[in-house]
Amino acid sequence: MRQQICIGDNLRLERRAGEARFICSCDRDLGTGQVNFKEHCRVKESSSSDIGPGYASSDPEMAGQMCFREFFCPGCGVRLTTEVALVGSPYLWDIQPKL
Amino acid sequence: MEQTANIIWDGVARGYIPPDVLRISPKLQLHTKGAADVDPITYEVARNTLLNINLEHGQTIQKLSISPITMLVRDFQCAILTENGDVMCLGPYLLYLGNMLGLITKWILENRSEEPGIEDGDVFLCNDPYVGTSHQQDTGLTCPVFWQGELFCWVSNSVHYSDVGGPMPGSFCLNSNTIWEDPPCFPPIKLMERGQIRTDLEQLFLRQSRLPDTVAMDLHAAIAGLSVAKERIIKLIERYGPDTVKGVMNRIIDAGELAIEEKLQLIPDGRWSERVYTEAAVPGDRGIYASQINIIKEGGFLYVDNEGTSPQVGAINNTYAGLAGGTLAAMTIMLAYDLAGVSGGLYRRVKFRPVPGTITCADYPAPISIAGQFNMPMVVATATGAVAKMVACADSPLREKAIAMADVHAYGGSIFNGINQHGQFFVGMNAGMAVGALPASPVRDGVDTGGLFWVPGMEAANVEENELAWPVLTLYRRHNTAGAAGAGRFRSGLGAEEAWVLHGAPQMSMEVYMNESFVKNQGLLGGNPGGRSFFQVKKNTDVRLCLAEGKLPQNLADLSGGDVPMYFKGPPITLEANDVWSSNLPNFAGYGDPLDRDPALVAIDVSEGKLTTADAQQVYAVIFGADGSVDEENTRACRAGRKQARLAACP
């Protein structure tokens, strides 16, 4: 039986006190494995044109319907994941491994 | 494939999903007896012979075709299938076409074995996306191989034909709202009967095309590929006997399945999803639409659905064949990378539960012709995201095989037509951006212009080949820089851009181009998404004057003239002598937090001129000293401050 599942560089799903919990590499608890860990992150939402040099749109009206979300660990500030999404859409619950 | 309850997936009203047991006419005798005790040496000799037969099939198509898209770019696929249409192996070409050849063949077994029958020497042609093609241009041919009256196996190919009819040259019909505004669909027809080409049906197919001579040559190249593969398989059977060869074929698939099963044991059970967005169902539409793929892994099987995808609309649709093919292409790269094209074992372990009536699994009569340019890369990208997240949760060494997403419309190509420098009508598909880029992975940077990973054998045409084929002069083709686009702990390989001007013809019409309004790519586990693909046109420039003065313009901004407002899908643009246009294929997705990237790797990118010191600081928080080396202490402090600032900005 797995005791933990590594998810990328900084996130893992770990069994603690009999329950699967999302844990950051800084040891910050990001909630139960039954809930989208993004709900426990600090989230920055910005324009999809403002991600950085080279993302600027030639059609700001269309680009304005989209946003760029960055999900940071509230403990250490590392960026765990990102989304390009429709403004106002719910976070995609995209990683649901079972421990 | 699993059948969704109460929905008929018949290839007529809806995409075709074969049942687990095919309904084949008893008139057709199948060879099913495979020896179970083939010795290891015979097995290896026969196995490698079969794989090489398939490679020779592809090389024959490439050598005999004449269209740039087939001859130079290799936009095709070939396969060997078992007697019941299960794919045994694919060539190193367009991976998502492999499964489609299986769908077409199984549909023929179910719907043609009784009437008109399947006989030795037959070749069936099909370009119907509801039966099993990605779009009408990717026309499939499939050929039964008989041994002593029994159907032993099939050899099949799919080739992108330059024009198969419809209202737009090149057959990508951006304005279609129904299949009746698209190129014609041909469900499987018997193009060859008992070894003879049915000239009436050949002419029916060619008559639709604006380029009948080119399509005829490519069609005959495809038939030649089938003939070579069939002849070689017959010789293999003559040498080893049918039961031995069939035993080897069965064992090849079984071994592939076992290899997949072993990899699946490294992946925890769970559910992974990806969603990407596209835009403009038809030119002028301002809508935004979602493509979503969800993968549930339970024990030794993967279950795939597209719940969350937008309802079918306008011209941005593909059928079940595209959904399954694109998903299996991403899985092939990350799960079957070591199987030398033997994908049949993987296919056994994937079950689809598609949601019909969606842009990635459309019902008849949705138009499908533009799927090859727009939807299929989108499906591959969506699937790549979901598969990569799943694989990134696996135990080592599989987790290192995760690969970030390529661009959602990654061909970056354009389609144009007119009268060329030789006074002949032409349709051009610029696949110069097939130079591609490999995205980042959890253990390494991607590869600069490293190709498109779901088309391992694809090559971009050389600029000289483009200039020979079409009335154009290439001003430049070069790498992008490594700025924010595709940044991460490991960055994407660099994409590319190129610019053209007319040469030898007074004008031509640009019909299909892509200027994305917003970035559609998704980064992997903290990485930046890839960049925005764009297409620019500048009218009435001084480019001729520059060339006359011996200057080769290297930037559209340096030229006089006016920019044309560009949309993701716009109306055709007439290009004239003083106009310049450029395509950009962006860097693809990055992996991991850019602030965790090894500063030494950032320094290498700067030293190689791929990254400016300003971008190194802005994107990666790497500080350089006066001597040009990394200031490690200040870099650490800058990164720590940047992470604290993130939290301060998001209370």
| Local structure of B236: helix, strand or coil | helix
Please indicate, yes or no, whether residues B87 and B200 belong to a single structural domain of this protein.
yes
Alpha carbon distance B293, B276 (integer Å): 9
- Check A62 against B586: CB less than 8 A apart: no
What is the percent of chain B where pLDDT is above 70? 99
Per residue in B618-630, pLDDT tens?
A: 999 999 999 999 9
Q: Which of B519, B536, B568, B619 should be substituted to probe chain A, the one whose Cβ sees the most A Cβ atoms within 10 Å?
A: B519
User: B416 by DSSP, 3-state: which?
Assistant: strand
Q: Which of B525, B535, B620, B636 to mutate to test the interface with A (most CBs of A within 10 A)?
A: B525
Question: Is B505 inside a domain boundary?
Answer: yes
Instruction: Provide the chain A residues 36-95 that lie in CB contact (below 8 A) with chain B.
Output: 42-44, 48-49, 51-59, 61-63, 65-66, 68, 70, 72, 74, 76-86, 92-95
Name the helix (H) or strand (E) containing B539: strand B534-539
- Locate the chain B residue with the closest alpha carbon to A87: B288
- For residue range B200-215, list pLDDT tens digits in order: 999 999 999 999 999 9
Residues of chain A neighbouring B528 (CB-CB closer than 8 A): 51-52, 82
Burial of B384 (0-12, 13-18, 19+ CB in 10 A): buried
**Considering only CB atoms, which chain A residues are within 8 Å of B568?**
59, 62
CA-based nearest distance A94→chain B, Å? 4
> Is A48 in Cβ contact with B518 (below 8 Å)?
yes
Confirm whether A24 is domain-assigned. yes
Coil, helix or strand at residue B510: strand
Q: Which of B142, B138, B127, B110 is nearest to B8 (CA)?
A: B110
Distance CA B139, CA B76 (A): 9
Find out whether the peptide bond into B397 is cis, omega within 30 degrees of 0.
Answer: yes
Residue B289 lies in a domain: no
Domain contains A91? no
Whether A98 and B528 lie within 8 Å, measured CB to CB:
no
For B390-403, how does the pLDDT look when each residue is reduced to its tens digit (9 = 90+)?
A: 999 999 999 999 99
Average pLDDT over residues B18-46: 97
Both B507 and B626 in a single domain? no
- Confidence label for A1 from pLDDT (cuts 50, 70 and 90): confident
Name the burial class of residue B28, with classes exposed (0-12), middle (13-18) and buried (19+) by CB atoms within 10 angstroms of its CB. Answer: middle
Q: Is residue B273 part of a domain?
A: no
What residue in A sits closest to B614 (Cα-Cα)? A53
Contacts of A61 in chain B (CB under 8 A): 286
The verdict on a CB contact (< 8 Å) between A72 and B586 is no
Pairing of strands A95-97, A79-86: unpaired
Average pLDDT of every residue of chain A: 95
The answer, yes or no, to whether residue B573 has pLDDT greater than 80, is yes
CB contact under 8 A, A52 and B528: yes
Domain contains A23: yes
Residue range B111-133: average pLDDT? Answer: 98
pLDDT band at A52 (very low <50, low <70, confident <90, very high): confident
Nearest-CA distance A73 → chain B (Å): 8
Buried b (16+ CB within 10 A) or exposed e, B81-120: bbbbbbbbbbbbbbbbbbbbbbbbbbbbbbbbbeeeebbb
Closest CA of chain A from B594, distance in Å: 8
Residue A82 lies in a domain: yes
Closest-CA distance, B379 to chain A, in angstroms, reads: 16
pLDDT of residue B315: 96
Look up residue A79 and give its two tokens: 């960026």
CA distance B11 to B8: 9
Burial readout B131-157 (b: 16 or more C-beta within 10 A, e: otherwise): bbbbbbbbbbbbbbbbbeeebbbbbbb
Nearest CA in chain A to B597: A9
* Pick from B442, B523, B565: CB nearest A82: B523
Average pLDDT over residues B308-316: 97
Facing A94 at nearest CB: one of B272, B565, B568: B272
Quick check: is B640 in a domain? yes
Q: How many angstroms separate the CA atoms of B390 and B381, rounded?
A: 14
What is the Cα–Cα distance from B259 to B347, expressed in whole angstroms? 12
pLDDT computed for residue B242 by the predictor: 98
What does the DSSP assignment read for B599-631?
A: HHHHHHHHHTTSS-HHHHHHHH---B-TTSSB-
Over residues A23-46, the pLDDT tens digits come to 999 999 999 999 999 999 999 999
Examine the domain organization and report whether B619 and B571 are in the same domain.
no
How close B224 comes to chain A (CA, Å)? Answer: 46
- Residue where a domain stops, chosen among B219, B234, B259: B259
Interface test with A, best of B407, B518, B620 (most A CBs within 10 A): B518
Q: CA torsion angle for B25, B27, B28, B29 (degrees, to 10)?
A: 120
The domain boundary residue, chosen from B259, B281, B305: B259
The strand order across the sheet containing B534-539 reads B472-479, B496-502, B580-585, B534-539, B562-563
Confidence of residue B6 (pLDDT cuts 50, 70, 90): low
CB pairs under 8 A between A and B: 171
Residue corresponding to tokens 């060997």: B80
**pLDDT mean over B63-73:** 93
**Residue B413: pLDDT above 80?**
no
- Verify whether the Cβ–Cβ distance B485 to A42 is below 8 Å: no
Do the chains contact at A74 and B274, CB–CB below 8 Å? Answer: no
Helices (H), A1-99: 60-63
The secondary structure of B51-104 as a DSSP string is: HHHHHHHHHHHHHH--SHHHHTT--EEEEEEETTS-EEEE-SS-THHHHHHHHH
Question: Which residue segment(s) compose the domain that A16 sits in?
Answer: 4-86
Tell the residue number behind the tokens 């040099």, with chain if given: A53
Over 90: is that where the pLDDT of B575 sits? yes
Measured between beta carbons, the chain B residues lying within 8 angstroms of A52 are: 483-485, 487, 528, 618-619
**Are B647 and A77 an interchain contact pair (Cβ–Cβ within 8 Å)?**
yes
pLDDT for B3 equals: 44
Q: Are strands A66-72 and A42-47 parallel, antiparallel or unpaired?
A: antiparallel
Q: What letter does residue B392 receive in the DSSP assignment?
A: H
**Residue B57 placed within a domain:** yes
* Same domain (yes/no): B488, B419: yes
ipTM, interface predicted TM-score of the complex: 0.98
Q: Which residues of A touch B644 (CB under 8 A)?
A: 77
Residue ending a domain, choose from B259, B294, B318: B259
- CA distances to A30, B209, B547 from B421, rounded to whole Å, are 64, 21, 19
Mean pLDDT, range B344-371, rounded to an integer: 97
pLDDT number for residue B627: 93
Per-residue model confidence as pLDDT tens digits over B489-526: 999 999 999 999 999 999 999 999 989 999 999 999 99
> Which chain B residue is nearest to residue A70, measuring alpha carbons?
B526
Say what the alpha-carbon torsion angle B517, B324, B55, B250 is, to the nearest 10 degrees: 160
DSSP structure class, residue B567: -
Do B100 and B240 fall into the same domain? yes
- Find tokens 């079972």 and name the residue: A98
B-contacting residues in A 13-32 (Cβ below 8 Å)? none
Strand order in the sheet with B301-305: A95-97, B270-279, B288-298, B301-305, B350-352
Instruction: Provide the pLDDT for residue B5.
Output: 54
Domain count, chain A: 1
Chain A nearest-CA distance from B74, in A, is 31
Give me B95's structure tokens.
């991976």
**Pairing of the two strands B496-502 and B123-126:** unpaired
Q: Is residue A73 part of a domain?
A: yes
Report the pLDDT averaged over residues B544-562: 95
In the 3-class helix/strand/coil scheme, how is B324-380 assigned residue by residue?
HHHHHHHHHHHHCCCCCCCCHHHHHCEEECCCCCECCECCCCCCCHHHHCCHHHHHH
The count of structural domains within chain B is 3
B328 in Cβ contact with B293 (< 8 Å)? no
Q: Are strands B301-305 and B350-352 parallel, antiparallel or unpaired?
A: parallel
Of A6, A8, A62, the CB nearest to B518: A62
DSSP percent split of chain A into helix, strand, coil, nearest 5: 10, 45, 45
Average pLDDT of chain B, as a whole number: 95
Range of the domain at B238: 40-259
Contact at 8 Å (CB) between B590 and B492?
yes
Using an 8 Å CB-CB cutoff, list chain B residues near A77.
642-647
Residue B350 · residue B327 · CB < 8 Å: yes
Q: Which of A57, A82, A86 is opposite residue B526, by nearest beta carbon?
A: A82
Does B587 fall in a domain? Answer: yes
Q: Is the pLDDT reported for residue B543 higher than 50?
A: yes
**Residue B120: per-residue pLDDT:** 98
Which residue has 């010795």 as its token pair? Answer: B39
Q: Which residues of A touch B484 (CB under 8 A)?
A: 51-55
> Does pLDDT of B278 surpass 90?
yes
Which residues of A are less than 8 Å from B385 in CB distance? Answer: 94
> Residue B1 pLDDT > 50, yes or no?
no
| Cβ contact, residue pair B532, A55, below 8 Å | yes
* Nearest CA-CA partner of B335 in B406, B258, B281, B277: B258
Contacts of A86 in chain B (CB under 8 A): 277, 288, 290
Give pLDDT, residue A2. 84
Q: List the beta bridge partners of residue B167.
A: none
Tokens 């007529």 belong to which residue? Answer: B12
Q: Could you tell me which of B374, B370, B375 has the C-alpha nearest to residue B171?
A: B370
Residues of chain B contacting residue A96, judged by C-beta atoms under 8 Å apart: 270-272
The whole-angstrom distance between A31's CA and the closest CA on chain B is 17
Q: Name the minimum distance, in Å, from the CA of A19 to any CA of chain B.
A: 16
In a domain, B591, yes or no: yes
**Which member of B442, B517, B521 has the closest CB to residue A63?**
B517
Whether the pLDDT of residue B2 is over 60: the answer is no
Please say whether the beta carbons of A57 and A48 come within 8 A: yes
Name the closest residue on chain B to residue A34, using Cα atoms.
B270
* Residue B293 counted as domain residue: no
